């Protein structure tokens, strides 16, 4: 008898992300970060568990309300409180880097490096 406890969940996670409302949410987040839908899906599948993926729509809506100023440009609330892809400290560090005078584009690139 073979024990099958941990199995590959990627196909089932993709099935969740293909749902109508979830797909729209993934597209809008991908637009925010300036990456393709496939790349966004890959990041989400590797970083989030299945329940967060189901609940992606209300969480991103709440993050949209919380975002303002620099954090809105960098989509920090979406990545920290909403999806948990970055920790709160990392999010604050990125915001302070922009406030210290670094260009938004280079910080965005740094965020993408952390995500990938």
Partner 1 sequence: MSLLQSIKNSVRKRSIHVCYVNTGSCNGCDIEILACLSPRYDLEQYGIYVHNNPREADVILVTGGMSPQWIDKLPDLFDRVPEPKAVVTIGNCPISGCVFNRPGCVIDPPVSKYIPVTAAVPGCPPRPTEIINAILSAADILFKNYEEKEAKK
Partner 2 sequence: MKKVVDVSLPVGPVHPCFKEPLRIKCETAGERILRTEVELGYVKKGIEKIMVGRPWQETMFLAERVCGICSVVHNTAIVGALEEISGIKVPRRAQLLRIILNELDRMQSHLLANYSYCYTIEHETLAMYLLNLRETVMDAIEKMTGTRIMSAYVVPGGVREDVPDAVISDILSALDKVETELKRYVKIFETGKLIGLRSKGIGILSVEDAKASGVVGPTARASGMECDARANEPLYVELGWHMITRLEGDNFARIMLRFDELFQSSTIVRNAIGKLEAGPVRLGGKVTAGHVKHTIEAPRGDLTYDIAVDENGEVISVAIQTPSIMNVEVASHIMMKDLASAADVTSVFISADPCIACAER
Contact positions vs partner 1 (CB under 8 A): 1, 3-4, 7, 12, 15
Do residues 41 and 17 touch, judged by C-beta distance below 8 A?
yes
Instruction: Closer to partner 1 by CB, 50 or 61: give it.
Output: 50
12 touches partner 2 by CB under 8 A: yes
Site for partner 2 in 35-64 (CB under 8 A): 49-52, 54-55, 57-59, 61-63
Do residues 74 and 94 touch, judged by C-beta distance below 8 A?
yes
Do residues 93 and 103 touch, judged by C-beta distance below 8 A?
no
Torsion angle in degrees (nearest 10) through CA of 115, 92, 26, 34: -70
Instruction: Closer to partner 1 by CB, 7 or 65: give it.
Output: 7
List the one residue out of 26, 22, 64, 63 whose CA is nearest residue 43. 26
Do residues 71 and 77 touch, judged by C-beta distance below 8 A?
yes
66 touches partner 2 by CB under 8 A: yes
Which of the listed partners (partner 1, partner 2, none) does 66 bind, with a CB threshold of 5 to 8 Å by partner kind?
partner 2
Instruction: Closer to partner 2 by CB, 61 or 114: give it.
Output: 61
User: Which residues contact partner 2 (rule: CB under 8 A)?
Assistant: 5, 9, 12, 15-16, 19-21, 49-52, 54-55, 57-59, 61-63, 66, 81-82
């Amino acid at each position: 008898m073979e024990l099958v406890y941990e199995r590959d969940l990627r196909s089932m996670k993709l099935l969740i992300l293909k749902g109508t409302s979830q797909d729209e949410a993934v597209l809008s987040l991908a637009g925010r970060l300036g990456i393709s839908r496939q790349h966004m899906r890959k990041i989400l599948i590797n970083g989030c568990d299945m329940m967060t993926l189901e609940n992606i729509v209300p969480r991103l809506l709440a993050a949209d309300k919380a975002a303002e100023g620099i954090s809105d440009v960098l989509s920090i609330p979406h990545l920290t409180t909403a999806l948990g892809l970055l920790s709160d400290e990392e999010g604050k560090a990125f915001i302070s880097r922009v406030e210290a005078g670094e260009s938004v584009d280079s910080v965005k690139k740094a965020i993408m490096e952390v995500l990938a």
